[in-house]
Amino acid sequence: MSTVLELEDLKKRYGSIWALNGIDLRVGKGEVLGLLGPNGSGKTTMLKLISGLARPTDGRILINGQKPGPASKAHMAILPDVDHIYEWMTVQQAVDYVSSFYEDFDYDKARRLIELMNIETDIKVGHLSRGMNERLKLVIVISRNAELILLDEPLGGIDPTSRDKIVHAIATEYRWEDSAMIIATHLVRDIESIFDKVLFLKSGQIALYGSADELREKYNGSVEDIFKEVFA
């Protein structure tokens, strides 16, 4: 399996606080990594560093052998944990605007996802509910056949009844088989079925890392149970 993402001794400091401290990681093509940890553990910081939205204090990040920058961003899709899409745009304008920058954007997939998520395309983004905004963000990210997809709390604003449907959509029919995916979340139960590997972050350091199935076997429980044990 070829490596899409490589982190080497990655460190990030804000003032006197180390948000990340010495992370080493490799993510291969087709892999889904669950990035788990409580609030403030460094999940968002790690995704920001990988996506080029923040700069490391020390260490190295390589995405397909490239450092984060305009070139690597063309092959990477990120869903941040904030509502980042222009409120004055309609849903259709937002999709058209973002898609115009990426060669890997799949319009057919976007149309099907918009239908699946029940999003009206002529409504302004600013008029969408929190949940609908989350869905739109997901549509924009998942519609791309990007080599690396980063999702920061993708289920945060989505009601529990829709979560299964959306998780299923992300994990199966709408996922590009070659893309590596990192999903940062603390809503482990709803999404753990799609993880190939899991990484538990605690105070900016790796507390536990391994194959999801092997860890379930070793700890004789679900990933959520392991989460509770690690962060108890």
Partner 1 sequence: MNFIKLYKKEFMKDRKSFVITIAIITAMMLFLYSRTGHWTPGLPTAILAVAMFGFSIAAFISSFDCMGDEWEHNNHYLMLSLPVRGRDILGAKLAWFVTEFGTYMLLLGACIIFVLLGEARGIGTINNALYSAITVAAWRTYGIMVLPVLYILAATGMLALSSYTVGSTVKRFKFWVGAISFIVPVGLLFYLSNKVMEISPAWMHVEMPLADILAWQKIENALNSNGVVSAGLTSFINGTVVGVDVLALLIWTIGFVGLFFMASWLLENVVEA
Decide whether 100 or 172 has the Cβ nearer to partner 1. Answer: 100
Does 106 sit near partner 1 (CB under 8 A)?
no
**Member of 20, 54, 139, 151 binding partner 1 (CB under 8 A):** 54
Does 5 sit near partner 1 (CB under 8 A)?
no
Measured over the CA atoms of residue 90, residue 88, residue 97 and residue 136, the dihedral's sign is negative
**Member of 40, 71, 115, 173 binding partner 1 (CB under 8 A):** 71
Decide whether 76 or 226 has the Cβ nearer to partner 1. Answer: 76
Residue 145 φ then ψ, to 5°: -90, 60
Alpha-helical (H) ranges within 78-172 are 91-99, 107-116, 130-142, 160-171
In 3-state terms, the chain is what percent helix, strand and coil (to 5)?
A: 35, 30, 35
Decide whether 83 or 196 has the Cβ nearer to partner 1. Answer: 83
Binding part of the chain for partner 1, among 21-29, 65-73, 109-117, 210-218 by CB under 8 A, reads: 65-73
Binding part of the chain for partner 1, among 51-59, 172-180, 184-192, 218-226 by CB under 8 A, reads: 51-59
Does 83 sit near partner 1 (CB under 8 A)?
yes
Nearest to 57 by CA among 21, 26, 5, 24: 21
* SS3 (DSSP) at 143: coil
Instruction: Give 24-86 as a DSSP string.
Output: EEEEETT-EEEEE--TTSSHHHHHHHHHTSS--SEEEEEETTB-SSHHHHTTEEEE-SS--S-
Decide whether 101 or 122 has the Cβ nearer to partner 1. Answer: 101
Decide whether 37 or 68 has the Cβ nearer to partner 1. Answer: 68
Binding part of the chain for partner 1, among 28-36, 75-83, 156-164, 202-210 by CB under 8 A, reads: 75-83
Does 74 sit near partner 1 (CB under 8 A)?
yes
Does 93 sit near partner 1 (CB under 8 A)?
yes
Cα separation, 179 vs 29, in Å, equals 6
Decide whether 51 or 145 has the Cβ nearer to partner 1. Answer: 51
Nearest to 84 by CA among 119, 126, 27: 126
- What is the token pair recorded at 231? 């962060």
In whole angstroms, the minimum distance from the beta carbon of 70 to partner 1 comes to: 5
Nearest to 49 by CA among 41, 38, 60, 40: 60
**Member of 16, 39, 65, 82 binding partner 1 (CB under 8 A):** 82
Q: In the complex, which residues of this chain contact partner 1 (CB under 8 A)?
A: 14-15, 48, 51-55, 69-71, 73-74, 78, 80, 82-89, 93, 97-98, 100-102
